[in-house]
Amino acid sequence: MKIGVMTTPWENVGDMVAIARMAEDRGIDSLWVGEHSHLPVTTRHAFADNTPEFYRHVPDPYITLAAVAASTTTIRIGTGIALPAECEPLGLAKVIASLDTLAGGRFEWGVGYGWNKLEMVNRGVDPRYRMARFREVVLAVRALWTAETAGFGGDHVRFTESWSWPKPVQRPHPPILLGCRPGPRAFAQLTEFCDGWLPSVTQCGDGLDETLTRLRSAWTAAGRVGRPALTFIDTGFSSDVDVDTFRARTETTKGLAARLADCGTDRLIVGMPLFRLTDAEPMLDSVAALT
């Protein structure tokens, strides 16, 4: 099973380039960053009473990963997770295709529905229709990536037949991994137009084996060949911690990694806390020890 890392820099966005090089040198498979355009001050959400600091520090994922791609050669890069429902698909398709081209086909698009309703409202999205809009945005982006010309006429996304270049290096397109809680509607979208599942470990609950059986059955019922790719995120970085605390936490991750490997998982992404560059190397050593 492959091991990736997901983190948010505390002091300088440019530190992501340095940490990517360190991760690549240690044989870590991939580096992932999240997406939040902003964090509304007044809002009701899962962390309303104690909002983790890292949500205020998330840089733009695509600009950050472009810098990483230009400074590395083998490490894969991805979003964990991006929020396409809050984006305009014509620009989004071009940005990601350009990034995949720059990266030489190393990008993976982890996507999700979003959980902060006021964030969506501030970006012009009605939260009641977030799943429907999400579906149309992703389908529109895929069409722009895979067809010579594409148009779209949905309830939430509309544009006329258009050329959109460049196309991604990866064909037919970069892997699309849906970060979601297990459920019939989400799994229906996953099996319709995504390539795999990207949940956090905490979203899976105790019934992981049963959940994976349901997912694979839905995959087959949808007429998909092969099996869905499985990448799990072990976040564990809701607050800043010191190196010794992080080492102790990753020691407990060894048992989780073994269990996920037994379930046929392709990759585990280990969350690092908000990091200072001086702490990055020993933290990455702990992550690399899981490979």
**What six digits make up the tokens of 175?**
């892997």
Domain limits, the chain:
2-288
229, 230, 236, 239: CA torsion to nearest 10: 20
Q: Does pLDDT of 35 surpass 90?
A: yes
Question: What span, in angstroms and rounded, lies between the C-alpha atoms of 138 and 155?
Answer: 14
Q: Return the closest-CA partner of residue 81 out of 109, 115, 122.
A: 109
Query: Which phi-psi region, left, alpha or beta, contains residue 151 (left: φ > 0; alpha: ψ -120 to 50)?
Result: beta
Per-residue pLDDT at 90: 98
pLDDT tens column, 228-259: 999 999 976 556 678 898 998 899 899 999 99
**Span 32-42, average pLDDT:** 92
Per-residue pLDDT at 9: 85
How far, in Å, are 1, 148, 187 from residue 30 at the CA level?
Answer: 12, 30, 25
Q: Does pLDDT of 204 surpass 80?
A: no
Q: Read out DSSP for the chain? A: -EEEEE--BSS-TTHHHHHHHHHHHTT--EEEE---S---SS--STTSSS--GGGGTPPPHHHHHHHHHHH-SS-EEEEEEE-GGGS-HHHHHHHHHHHHHHTTS-EEEEEE--S-HHHHHHTT--GGGHHHHHHHHHHHHHHHHHSSEEEEE-SS-EEEEEE--PPPSSSS-S-EEEE--S-HHHHHHHHHH-SEE--BGGGG-S-HHHHHHHHHHHHHHTT--S--EEEEEE---SS---HHHHHHHHHHHHHHHHHHHHTT-SEEEEEP-SB-HHHHHHHHHHHHTT-
Of the pLDDT bands very low, low, confident and very high (cuts 50, 70, 90), residue 47 is low
Q: Does pLDDT of 55 surpass 90?
A: no
DSSP-derived pairing of the beta strands 149-153 and 30-33: unpaired
Q: How many CB atoms lie within 10 A of CB 262?
A: 10
Per-residue pLDDT at 181: 92
**Selected residue with higher pLDDT from 238 and 227:** 227
**What six digits make up the tokens of 168?**
């991604």
Least confident of 24-38, 151-165, 230-244: 230-244
Of the candidate CATH numbers 3.30.465.10, 3.30.70.100, 3.20.20.30, 1.20.140.10, the domain formed by 2-288 belongs to: 3.20.20.30
Per-residue pLDDT at 45: 67
Of the pLDDT bands very low, low, confident and very high (cuts 50, 70, 90), residue 281 is very high
Of the pLDDT bands very low, low, confident and very high (cuts 50, 70, 90), residue 91 is very high
- Predicted TM-score (pTM) of this structure: 0.96
Tell me whether the omega of the peptide bond preceding residue 63 falls within 30 degrees of 0, making it cis.
no
Contacts 24+ apart (CB under 8 A), 208-215: 208/259, 208/263, 209/263, 211/182, 212/263, 212/264, 214/182, 214/187, 215/182, 215/187, 215/190
DSSP-derived pairing of the beta strands 176-179 and 196-197: parallel
Per-residue pLDDT at 282: 95
Residue in the block written with tokens 């895979």:
146
Q: How many CB atoms lie within 10 A of CB 61?
A: 23
Per-residue pLDDT at 51: 72
Q: For the chain, give the mean pLDDT.
A: 93
